[in-house]
Amino acid sequence: MTKKSFGNFQIQKSNAQKKEEFRQEKKKARADKNEYFAKKKAEERSLRPQATRAQKKDDGYVAKAQTPAEPITFKRENTNGEMPLNKYLAHCGVCSRREAAEVIKTGTVLVNGKVINEPGHKVTDKDEVKVNGKKISIQKELVYILLNKPKDYITTSEDPQGRRTIMDLMRGVSTNRIYPVGRLDRNTTGVLLLTNDGELTQKLSHPSFQVKKVYEVTLDKPLEKKDFEKLLNGVTLEDGFIAPDALGYADPKNKKIVGIEIHSGRNRIVRRMFESLGYDVKGLDRVLFANLTKKNVDRGKWRYLNEKEVRLLKFLNKSFVKKKEETKGKNRDEE
């Protein structure tokens, strides 16, 4: 574990580090104070002279109306040729590729008028595919959105019980259906990626890519040293052994708040790890997912990813997976 790969969480600090941290905090406080007063002055200036100028036509001044951010979309690569039906559904924005396999097995998918129950059934863009009686087609425009999820929202597009879903926060997204990459519990907050790119969703959800996730965990009581060591070495849950990639206290003076880095996508895995040692998780906030953070995105707000971010996601851990596959192939040859 290195400080660089684990953000602000660290296990212990030397006296020199504490002094430097104190100096930096004072420096930041001064900068924040100066920024606050500068902002106030700028607001006062903007309210007085600009309003006056906007009323004077002969000044040639025209007040510009604020417009919402334009959607940033990306062209999908050529999808001609055959592909598995579950992949086709994902490309159409119905759901993720993994979820599409379950949808197909329910018998609600028709291909050229016939019910198909096999996720691997080959189709092309010339076939007529319907889901629950609605014709679908491959989405040519791809969109990628980062949401800072608040509490009390379900990570689904619809909820039979009428509870609030993350799609209630996505008003203003002028695109075809999008869906979340993975899930966050109702009371878990933080970084959530939404897209209509089924191929990327499949990649980021697959364990082999070891997508990094960092959470800030607030416990009901301080995490004791012996339990810290147990957790760091790994614990055995009902669905198998699990160990974090990194673990640390956010603040040595408040050991109720812990940072944990993990790449497992198992259900409620972070909560279950702490619960197995007798701790109740009072708050769980995902601060990083696949190198994406919630910086400059307020709780309950969202933004489009830029081209650089999308490119990094598509090549995330690609060399690692390739090396892993080459190692497996070499081992098979040796056998």
CATH class name, domain 77-136: alpha beta
Q: What is the pLDDT of residue 49?
A: 40
| Contact of 6 with 246, CB cutoff 8 Å | yes
Q: What is the pLDDT of residue 215?
A: 96
| Separation between Cα atoms, residue 279 and residue 224, nearest integer Å | 10
Local structure of 23: helix, strand or coil: helix
Q: Which contiguous run of DSSP H or E holds residue 28?
A: helix 15-47
Local structure of 302: helix, strand or coil: strand
Report residue 329 as tokens: 């192939």
Sequence ranges of the domains in the chain: 77-136, 141-311
Q: What is the pLDDT of residue 214?
A: 95
| Separation between Cα atoms, residue 260 and residue 268, nearest integer Å | 14
Confirm whether 77-136 and 141-311 share one CATH topology: no
pTM exceeding the 0.75 threshold for the entire prediction: no
| Contact of 222 with 204, CB cutoff 8 Å | no
304 bridge partner residues = 145
**Positions in the chain short of pLDDT 70:** 1-19, 21-22, 26, 29, 32-34, 36-80, 174-176, 317-335
Q: What is the pLDDT of residue 74?
A: 67
* Residue corresponding to tokens 């878990």: 188
Phi, psi of 266 (to 5 degrees): -65, 150
Q: Which contiguous run of DSSP H or E holds residue 48?
A: none
Q: What is the pLDDT of residue 258?
A: 95
**Quick one: angle between helices 97-105 and 198-205, nearest 10?**
100
- Integer-rounded Cα Rg, in Å, for the chain is 25
278: left (phi > 0), else alpha (psi -120 to 50), else beta? left
| Angle made by CA atoms 296, 299, 303, in degrees to the nearest 5 | 50
Positions marked active-site = 185
CATH class name, domain 141-311: alpha beta
Report residue 324 as tokens: 């892993």
Q: What is the pLDDT of residue 97?
A: 77
